[in-house]
Each structure stands twice: as C-alpha cells, then as structure tokens.
Amino acid sequence: MMDLFSQIEEPEREELKRLRKELEEANYKYYVLNMPTLSDREFDEKMHRLQALEAQYPDMFDPKSPTQHVGSDLDKGQRTKDKGQNGKGFETVKHKYPMLSLANSYSREEIEEWVRKLPSGVEIVCELKYDGLSISLWYENGQLVRALTRGDGQQGDDVIANIKTIPSIPWKIERNDIPAFFELRGEVLLPWERFEALNKEREEQEEPLFANPRNAASGTLKLQDPREVARRGLDAYLYYMLGEDLPGTTHFERLETAKEWGFHISDAIKVCKNVDEVMAYIAYWDTERKNLPVATDGIVLKVNNLTQQEELGFTAKTPRWAIAYKFPAEKQLTLLKEITYQVGRTGVVTPVANLEPVQLSGTIVQRATLHNEDFIKSLDIRPGDRVWVEKGGEIIPKIVGRADREETSDPRIPRTPSFPSCCPECGTPLIRVEGEAAWRCPNEAGCPPQIKGKIEHFVSRKAMNIDGLGEETIDLLFRQGLLHNIADIYDLKLEDIAAQERLGEKSAQNMLDGIEASKRVPWARVLFALGIRMVGETTAKKIARVYHSIDSLQWATAEQLCAIEDVGPQIAENIVAYFNDIRNLEILERLRQAGLQFEGEAAEEPQSDKLAGMSIVISGTFAQHSRDEYKAMIEAHGGKNVGSVSKKTSFILAGENMGPEKRKKAEDLGIKMISEEEFLQML
C-alpha cells in the first residue's frame, strides 16, 4: 500500500523539483541578465504552486528553494571585496537590513484578504510601484558612503560611482538635524524620453535594443564607465527610510522628512483609511500613470505606523506589513484601420497594421508589424476589425488577437481579401521561396525601396561610412533623379546637391568630402557594401582573404566559393548570380572608374595563435571596446568569429544584456561564457 501511495505522490514531487528549477532560472534571467522570460503574474502563480507543494511535502524542505530567498542581481563574476569600481567589477557589501521582495496581489479580493490580517483601524500608505532597479543609499554624517543594489537580499554590489551621476541623489546633506547614520531605499529609473533616445542610438549602431526601461536602467547601473552612465540620464525615486533614532513615528512622516532633506520623493503618496480608499487610489493611477515620465507597474501598500510594522514582522522573504498590487499587462482594444505593405532592401514584403491611436506603456501606438501572410491568417484579422494590442513592458507593440467580428467590426472600412500578389511599390509579381514565410519582390534594380535600401546599406558606418547621406537625403536625391544606384553617388556634383531643399553648399561639400574619403575604404568592406544577399561583414572578410581582387572573385565558381570557411551553397549561388547580372557589372565598372578599392593585400599574419582553432560567439554590449574591435582581436589572434551558438562553439564573449536565446542555448550545451575582462586577460 505504501508503494502505491509513493507512486501517486511521485508526479507532484517531480513537479516540485521542476518548479524550483524554473523559478531559479527565471530569477537569474530577471535580476542578472535583465531579460525577463515570465510575466510577474506567471512567476507568482508558479511560486504559489511551489509553496503549496512544499507545505504538502515538508520532508522536501530546502533552504535554497526560491520560496526561501529573493532573486539576486549580484555581479556574479566579480564578488571579491577588494575589487572596486575600476573596470574589474563591483565590491560586494552586506546589507545592514535585509532587502526583501514584496508579495504580489492582482485583485480587490487579494487586497481585502491582506487588510483583514492587519490590526483594526490601521492606516495604509499607497505609493506608485516604479519599475526600475532597487537601490540602498547609506549616509554617514550626511555624506553618501554606499549605494548597494538588492543583490541576493543579504548583500549587494556597491555602485556608488554610478549613483553619483544621478542628479536627483544628493552626495551630502548639509543639515544639523539628521542622524549620524540613515539608509534610504528607492528605485533607479530611466525615464521614457531617455529610454527611447537610447534605443534609437542603439538601433543606429546596430546594437540590440533594450526591451523596457527597467532592463535599460539595470544594464546602465552595472556599466564600468560612470561617464557613460551619466550620459544616459538615470533618475531615482526614494520610498523608505531605515536607521536608529530617526524622526517620526509613521512611514509617511519619514518620507515627508526625507523630502525636506532634499531627496526625490514622489508626490503621488496617499494615506488611506480603508479598502475603498485604496481601490479608488489604484483605479485613479491605473489610468493616470500612462501620463507619467517614468514606467510604473503597480501600487505598493504599506502599514503606516512603524510600531505596527515591527510587530507584524517578516516571512522568509517578504514583509507582512507591505504588499504590491500589480497592474494587469498593458493591453488595449483598438481599430485596425488599414494594412499597408513595406518593401525592404532585400525585397521582403512586410505587412503593417495601421491602428486607431492607443496609449500603451507611456507611448502612443499607431502601428504594429503583422510579420507575414501566415501571421495574418493565424489571427484571422482584416481591416475594420477591433484588435488587441499589447506591449507587456516590451518596446515593440504586437497584435495578440481580435474581438468578436460581428459585434465590433467597422463596416465602413474596406476589406483586404488577401495578401497582395504584386509588389505594392513597383507592381512586379511577388515570389515566395519554398520553405520561407516571406513574399519577395524580385525587381531589385527597379523597385524604389530596394534601390534606396541598397544605397543606405552602401553608405552605412560598417560599409563605406559616408557621412551626410542619411535616409532622408537619399530619398530626396532619388526623387530628384540624382541617385538611381550606388554608382551614381560618385557622380554627384556640388551645385546639384546644394540646390536641394534643406542642404546648401556647406552640407554639399561635407557630403562630397565623405564620398571622396570612401575611396580609401579597404576591399573587404567594399565587398560587404555591395549588398550581395547573405554576404555579411564577417563573410565578406573571409572571401576577401581568399580572393584579393574583385576580378578574381568575379570568375569564381560556386564550388570554389564553397571551399571558403562559412560560405555555403546558397551564399555561393548568390555571389555567382550577382556577377552574372549585366546591370551589376556596369555598376562595378563605374565604381572602378571612380577609384574604389577593388583589390586588397594578402591577409596579415596573426599577432598570435592564442585563439587558434577556437570558434567564438560575441553577444551583448561592452564597456572597453566595441564589438567590431573584439571581432578584429579574435581574428588577429587566430580565432574564428561565429554568429550562432553550437556544439562547436569554444566559448562566448559575453557582455551586458547578452541575448537570452544565446545564453539558454549555451547553458543547454555547456558552452563556457567569459567576461570582457577575462577575455582581455587571455590576450
């Protein structure tokens, strides 16, 4: 009989183990990688299930369980106390008071249940829950001496040099009425305006975008260069004071005192007497928060009386005198007015939803990608439908479904029966390669978006790097008939450019100087700039090492090209097809006459063989060198740059905000990840 019961219990025991593993991984990705994989609600549901299972099976108690501690954001590779903020990590310091997380609630019923457990007549302070990175500020004799992250709740990383770049945090309090020591806790934030500007910068530099302001703030606060931290424009809101001999007997009084001392305390704080007042506060800010300059994701409720807080005490990981109410994921129903179709540089046609403007996560959303024909069919959406748009903390809005068509559709909006069969820009019949989801326009030489896209690629930073020829200028010169292909760039004249709207003679001369300088760009980058499909920057370098001139490359066969490292049959066929097109040969001849570098010297000998035979993936952002510089270092020391993680990967050079998919695959395959500092030490 006991064996039978054991067999029945076994699945739940396995579930308990699985939930512990899932929640530990989710904590790691949220606190350390700044790449959350679960919504707050999903995380809490799994946590509640784990707590129930642990209560059911007390023999499986484990002090390391996620139910017994908070997640950790410690700088895991650099925990030694003698490493300060000098490019080698952050000093880890024990908190004077544990920094615990809050229990979450999602409904009025849960709020009412929490209130029922409190002493009768208790006052509750309601505050906005800012979505940033928790920080603990230590002041001794009015001087800021420590700034600790939450870490694992017991100890945190001291990021004081970066915190001192935030204007709203005072370095010194010049008053006679302050205690010898006090601690203020709060949230470090990146305002929406600065977040959007930072992501625009990163997009222009071909770096991965931050998913949301919290990730951006967290990544910024862990940078090793305070100058870069200062440039990004962090802010902070403070919400709790700790220490001995502090003024006031209530939480609200202490916040008012902190405000008098010069600290940045939110004005959106209210003392409530009952649940109805609490829910009214929540209802007001659920709408009004969308007009705030910073991200919020809920409301924090705290017992106001400090003596009552002390009497209520703590659980293993949360205070009993406080709880967070989490707003539901940002999702709005809006009208799909029209589906338009964009054509990219390679001819791929992407459908775009044009929406009735709707506010989500602090921004107005009017457009969202629909990816491809299969995506539209899977959601069964058409113009005139009411569709659900969601951000969920992410920067890119997405359509996640539609409302009932009979009840909500707008009959006045014309329907689009199917995906277009011809290019919306040039009218050429579209083609769809077997096995691919995208429809493509094959008219490379005559389709305006493809022509302009190829020119934009040609002049980009990693290609010919021609200043002054941005997207708007290229469009203007194309419409004026001055640019039809990349060779036309070298025929531009000062008077033709200067005559254009918004340009003028000075801009024209700067552009011509950039065009002249591009004639010195080396052969490998010229090859990349040509925009041959699937020939990226790294592949172009490898081809240029084997074929030292465009003349030798032009006559290479597909079989010969496949002998080059990382050049597969499809890339080889694309290169052969490029040189078989008479229009491309005419453009190449014009570029040769203009003086571009169509020859290169044989590859330089490696500086060393320290990385010989190693395949290395670079992921994330770095403080001391750019990604391009690290790629060059790897090649100079005999290593091979690869773009994706596989069993053949030797290690990953991992920077800030490493891609979550690459990290997961690396963990699954047991691939080593090394930091920027460790890599430089290797060399």
Residue 166 to residue 232: CA distance in whole angstroms: 10
For 2-68, CATH number out of 1.10.600.10, 2.60.120.650, 1.10.287.610, 3.60.20.10 equals: 1.10.287.610
- Per the residue annotation, which of 29, 46, 129, 452 is the catalytic one? 129
Residues paired with 236 in a beta bridge: 188
Domain over 331-408 is classified CATH 3.40.50.300: no
**pLDDT at site 30:** 64
Quick one: which of 177, 95, 84 has its CA closest to 137? 95
Domain spanning 448-594, CATH architecture = Orthogonal Bundle (1.10)
> 439 and 431 in contact (C-beta within 8 Å)?
yes
Residue 622 to residue 630: CA distance in whole angstroms: 9
Q: How many CB atoms lie within 10 A of CB 278?
A: 22
* Domain boundaries, given as residue ranges, for the chain: 2-68, 92-326, 331-408, 448-594, 615-682
> Would you say the pTM of this structure is higher than 0.85?
no
> 93 and 148 in contact (C-beta within 8 Å)?
yes
Please provide the CATH number assigned to the domain covering 92-326.
Answer: 3.30.470.30
Q: How many CB atoms lie within 10 A of CB 179?
A: 15
**pLDDT at site 393:** 47
- Phi, psi for residue 281 in degrees, rounded to 5: -60, -45
**pLDDT at site 435:** 65
**pLDDT at site 637:** 84
**pLDDT at site 575:** 94
Q: What single-letter amino acid sits at 490?
A: Y
Note if 129 is an active site residue.
yes
Helices (runs of H) and strands (runs of E) counted in the chain: 25, 21
> 389 and 358 in contact (C-beta within 8 Å)?
yes
**Following CA atoms 312, 315, 320, 326 in sequence, which dihedral angle do they give, to the nearest 10 degrees?**
180
Q: How many CB atoms lie within 10 A of CB 655?
A: 21
Q: What is the rounded radius of gyration, in angstroms, for the C-alpha atoms of the chain?
A: 30
Interacting residues of 274 by C-beta distance below 8 A, sequence separation 6+: none
- Phi, psi for residue 521 in degrees, rounded to 5: -65, 130
Quick one: which of 346, 600, 605 has its CA closest to 452? 346
**pLDDT at site 70:** 56
Mean pLDDT by 10 residues, the chain (683 residues): 46 86 75 60 80 82 71 49 44 89 84 89 94 93 93 88 90 90 94 85 66 84 82 92 92 94 93 93 87 88 94 84 85 88 87 87 78 84 86 67 69 66 93 79 90 92 87 91 94 90 86 93 94 86 90 92 85 92 94 93 63 86 76 82 82 80 81 86 82
Domain over 615-682 is classified CATH 3.30.70.20: no
Residue entry with tokens 């990981």: 317
3-state helix/strand/coil string of 279-293? HHHHHHHHHHHHHCC
